[in-house]
Chain A
Amino acid sequence: MLSVGFWNAKQGIAGYPAIVDFARDVAGDAGLSGPTGETLLCVGEPGTLDAVGLLAALRAADPTRLWWTHTSTSGRFLLAATIDQATFQTYPEGGAALPCLITRTVGGNNETFLVWFVHLAAAVGVGDRNIHTLTTGLALRAAVEATETTAVTGKSILIGDFNMRPYDAGMVAPAALHATPCRTAARRARVISGIARPYFYNPCWELLGNWEATRQPGTFYWLDPTDSVRWHLIDQMLIRPSIANVLRGRIPRILTKVGTNELVTRRGVARRDISDHLPIVASLSI
């Protein structure tokens, strides 16, 4: 069992302790990471936080686990993991995402998966929102397809800050990410004007709906005068339909607490002194 997770840390404003709490909570949750606490986590917008500092903080706070850390070439993705580092390789960043090739033993066989940590640009100050999400979604899809070909594995799992909701143009358009909420529909590529358009499966649709103290329908709180939504589900997970069955518990989990810190106030607003995003985590049976 393996957990994968992403947290946009808002320039790392809460420092290492918040990230350490996040990592320790996830690794220590046997329902997410299994009895041995295997996890692969990513911090987006790490700001001044770096791999050396995070590793020292993790080792000090959680000395029983063999944590290791890694910063991507661009510096945009800071990873913390407990999986055997020898089973991990990065491929070049593309489409505003970091592809990580991991080897897992499934049914006694070695299998490779691509875990993508994603951080697309927000549609702020860039003109038309739809065109922006289409262009960023299309570039990400192109990067995924190119790397899958190079790495010779079609088993991609994308997790991160897409800066799009599940229903935004770049997420659903066939030319872009073409992510559907239906696992059944996702099974077979759709042919549009003679071109096969494979789907991604987006399990995050099932998170949408009512906010309640025990139910979190989004990861980013923003009151937009042109939009009815308050909690925006922009941190998501997409998975290739052929491996949708490895997602345990049907849907990813949005965390509203790390360590002893609540990330959402009683009124249901993000604690921006820690981050304006909530972490998203998924448990995989690989």
Chain B
Amino acid sequence: MENFWPVNLLSEHDSGDADWSLFEAQAAAISDATRGLVQGELRRHVMPIGRASSIFIWPTGQRVKGYEFMAIRAEQEGFPLVLEVYHLGDSHRISRARDAAELKRTLHKIFDNDATRRIVRLLANEASQAQAVRIDVGRAEVEQPEAEAASGTATTTSRPDDSASRPIAVGGLIHREGESYAQVNLLGIASFLSEQELRKVVVKPDARGSAVSSMNGRFAVTVKFMDSVKFTLSEDELKILKNEVQRVLTGAAGH
């Protein structure tokens, strides 16, 4: 059965846990091990005391679907470490590593586990099904807009940077009071779309009745939300928005 994790890192890596770089390396290497279908990274929590980080993995191109694969905790610098691997079942979920050798043995067990393979396969399948990833021999690439690809401005590697990935989620079709609609989250804008509008989205781009039109190698989507929309802003973005609105309201726009 395939091994999704670079076992050689476990034997070659000599830095112990000093900077938890072993975990970083393991997380980053999941891309190569899955032909680019799954990405991973170590995310650190800022702690008042103690140390904590988690390895997240996600289908390529869908960073917002990051699944918390493993949490790593320590009371202080160095060992012991506590590893919590959520999918391993309650009897094997938590491991304690008192030194580097024990850590490597523990990681071997975690990675060489059918439940681990199941999770990775699940995310890899999701990446494949979304067709946002192009599988080549031995590697995969995130699909690039044609214009970007032609200009050579975008890099395509086996470990694509999909940090710009934005949420796209569509809930089930709700039937209520004679209406059919779904909750949607389109690039961080949350609202509801009627079934009629949803159907327009899946019509071939530029075809009659399609909500999607091609534009400069990308696509413009025109949909009418049923209800008010919600989105989040940073503090700075809110300042800009308020400034723009006030400029308009005071009649300064266009002058």
Give the interface of A toward B (CB within 8 A).
Answer: 11, 45, 47, 73-76, 84-89, 91-96, 101, 103, 105, 109-110, 112, 121, 125-128, 131-132, 134-136, 138-139, 142-143, 149-153, 173, 175
Contact = CB atoms under 8 A, between A and B. Distances in A.
Contacts of B185: 150-152
Contact of A135 (B73, B86, B172): B73
B52 interface: yes
B33 to A, nearest CB: 19
Interface string B174-192: 1110000011010011101
Contacts of B67: 73-74, 92-94
A134 B68 contact: no
A84 B47 CA distance: 40
Interface string B49-70: 1101010101000001111100
17 contacts: A73-B87, A73-B119, A74-B67, A75-B115, A88-B172, A89-B172, A110-B183, A125-B94, A126-B96, A134-B49, A138-B45, A139-B45, A149-B232, A151-B167, A151-B169, A173-B48, A175-B47
Given A92-B58, A94-B68, A73 B122 contact: yes
Contacts of A89: 169, 171-172, 183
A92 B173 contact: no
Interface of B: 45, 47-50, 52, 54, 56, 58, 64-68, 71, 73, 75, 80, 82, 84, 86-87, 89-91, 93-94, 96, 115, 119, 122, 167, 169, 171-176, 182-183, 185, 188-190, 192, 227, 230-232
A94 B66 contact: yes
A152 B189 contact: yes
B227 A109 contact: yes
Contacts of B192: 103, 110
Contacts of A74: 67, 86-87, 119
A75 B89 contact: yes
Given A94-B66, A175-B48, A126 B82 contact: yes
B47 A134 contact: yes
Contact of B75 (A95, A101, A128): A128
Given A76-B86, A134-B47, 14 more contacts: A11-B90, A45-B90, A85-B172, A87-B171, A109-B227, A112-B190, A126-B82, A131-B50, A135-B50, A135-B73, A138-B52, A139-B71, A152-B230, A175-B48
